[in-house]
Amino acid sequence: MPLRLLYCRAGFEGECAQEVTALGAGACDFTRDSGFVVAHAATNATTPLWRDLIFARQCLPVFAHAQAMPRNDRLTPIMAALAQRGETYAQVWTEAPDSDAGKALAPLCKSLGNALVGAMKKARLLDVAASRRLHAFFPQGDEVYLCAADPESCAPWPQGIPRLKFPREAPSRSTLKLEEAFLTLLDDNERTRWLTAGMSAVDLGAAPGGWTYQLVRRSIRVAAIDNGPMDRALMDSGLVTHRREDGFRYRPQKIVDWLVCDMVEQPRRVAELIAHWLQKGWCRRAIFNLKLPMKRRFDEAQQCLARVRAVAGTVRAKQLYHDREEITVFAASTGVRQRP
Ligand SMILES: C[S@@+](CC[C@H](N)C(=O)[O-])C[C@H]1O[C@@H](n2cnc3c(N)ncnc32)[C@H](O)[C@@H]1O
């Protein structure tokens, strides 16, 4: 039975498994807090695309799984599996889960990665023109999953984590959440077309301005809605209007290109608010956070997304690396508008 390997946030293995199973992509095995899930797919099942999954940071088809490898020679069983498959790869990534146990494996991944590249070069299994990337994933020191990934359909970052640098002048670390959302939920073409100078945005729950900062750095004008204070330098940009109002009551004067929302509120209330904006056509696109409850997180996410899908043309959702107990959602209007 084909195996699929999914990376996720440690503690969210259950939600990741629920999602994969609900999509008909197989029954899952996982250990809580391990940071990964293994799905046993039907022979003819397609591999879900990483972009389509909410709780998975990566989704890979497995072609070999080795356990109880000798700790003084892991290379021999790995090279034997590669020789048996006989495929060449453009790149090799050696990875471990994003978990406490996985962090301890970082030195092993580094040294084994170097040794593996050397051995694969010698065996002529590395070829820059090859169409796939090899992922060697170590859940523990003596166990490996080998996966052949099509880079077009998989997350383009090791461990499925975009390593973003915190911009010194940004007013809060939340800024990385919106930056990651732009990278993960939009493609290159959409980022070029939809994040351009002169556009307009509303930021609900904006203070102190981490999300507003991401818009302002792209020369987008922002109405920042929050009773809390906004960062002074951001206000000095001349692109921000700060309104001390309730985000649930605020209405835009004109249709805006973007609505972003990071208010800490019940997810259904936020989903209802965003659905209202999209239905009225007050914004063209939205990115918002849904803070998930402690229990039934998958079901809650599904219900909120269903509410937004009922009125939106496109909806994409992801638990980002910078998200904790929450998911981030992109939604685009169907194009029907009413005056605010
Ligand atoms: C997580 S913080 C936002 C951080 C911000 N996105 C950033 O990057 O700096 C949540 C904000 O939502 C605001 N907030 C919560 N409920 C609100 C409401 N009903 N209307 C407006 N703002 C609200 C809070 O005052 C708080 O500043």
Residues 198 and 146 in one domain: no
Instruction: Give the pairing type, strands 326-333 and 283-291.
Output: antiparallel
Residues 285 and 313 in one domain: yes
pTM score of the predicted model? 0.94
Tell me, yes or no, whether 167 lies in a domain.
no
Structure-token pair, residue 182: 């732009």
Tell me, yes or no, whether 101 lies in a domain.
yes
Candidates 287, 204, 274; CA nearest to 245 is 204
pLDDT value, residue 199: 98
Tell me, yes or no, whether 114 lies in a domain.
yes
- Ligand 1: does its nearest atom lie under 6 Å from the Cβ of 77? no
Q: Tell me which of 99, 130, 160 is where a domain ends.
A: 160
Tell me, yes or no, whether 169 lies in a domain.
no
DSSP E strands in 57-179: the ranges are 58-66, 91-95, 133-140, 143-149
Ligand 1 atom with minimal separation from the 263 CA: 12
The CATH number linked to 132 is 3.30.2130.30
Residues 79 and 188 in one domain: no
In Å, how far are 159, 272, 299, 308, 318 from 151, measured between CA atoms?
A: 13, 36, 30, 30, 19
Structural domain boundaries enclosing 265 = 175-333
- Ligand 1: does its nearest atom lie under 6 Å from the Cβ of 172? yes
pLDDT value, residue 23: 85
Q: Tell me which of 103, 129, 160 is where a domain ends.
A: 160
pLDDT value, residue 339: 55
Residues 210 and 293 in one domain: yes
**Ligand 1 centroid to 90 CA: how many Å?**
44
**Ligand 1 centroid to 317 CA: how many Å?**
20
Q: How many CB atoms lie within 10 A of CB 315?
A: 20
pLDDT tens-place string over residues 159-180: 999 999 999 999 999 999 999 9
Residues 307 and 209 in one domain: yes
What's the domain count of the chain? 2
pLDDT tens-place string over residues 310-334: 999 999 999 999 999 999 999 998 8
Please give the span between the terminal C-alpha atoms of the chain, in angstroms, as a whole number.
Answer: 54
pLDDT value, residue 337: 56
Residues 101 and 244 in one domain: no
Tell me, yes or no, whether 290 lies in a domain.
yes
Tell me, yes or no, whether 126 lies in a domain.
yes
The CATH number linked to 198 is 3.40.50.150
**Ligand 1 centroid to 298 CA: how many Å?**
24
- Ligand 1: does its nearest atom lie under 6 Å from the Cβ of 213? no
Pocket test for ligand 1, best of 204, 259, 264 (most atoms within 8 A of CB): 264
Helix (H) or strand (E) holding 279: helix 267-280
Residues 203 and 92 in one domain: no
Low-confidence ranges of the chain (pLDDT < 70): 336-340
Q: How many CB atoms lie within 10 A of CB 228?
A: 12
Length of the chain (residues)? 340
Pocket test for ligand 1, best of 164, 249, 262 (most atoms within 8 A of CB): 262
- Ligand 1: does its nearest atom lie under 6 Å from the Cβ of 263? yes
Residues 207 and 155 in one domain: no
- Ligand 1: does its nearest atom lie under 6 Å from the Cβ of 216? no
Helix (H) or strand (E) holding 276: helix 267-280
Q: Tell me which of 136, 160, 184 is where a domain ends.
A: 160
Ligand 1 atom with minimal separation from the 171 CA: 9
Whether 319 and 305 have beta carbons less than 8 Å apart is answered as no
Candidates 128, 93, 85; CA nearest to 110 is 93
Candidates 118, 150, 112, 114; CA nearest to 131 is 150
Q: How far apart, in whole angstroms, are the C-alpha atoms of residue 55 and residue 137?
A: 18
pLDDT value, residue 336: 55
- Ligand 1: does its nearest atom lie under 6 Å from the Cβ of 226? yes
Residues 153 and 244 in one domain: no
Residues 232 and 123 in one domain: no
Pocket test for ligand 1, best of 226, 230, 259, 290 (most atoms within 8 A of CB): 226
Q: Return the residue matching tokens 């003084």.
A: 72
Active site residues: 291
pLDDT value, residue 307: 98
Residues 140 and 195 in one domain: no
Residues 154 and 222 in one domain: no
Tell me, yes or no, whether 339 lies in a domain.
no
Tell me, yes or no, whether 104 lies in a domain.
yes
Rounded-to-10 torsion of CA 178, 181, 182, 187: 180
Q: How far apart, in whole angstroms, are the C-alpha atoms of residue 7 and residue 35?
A: 6
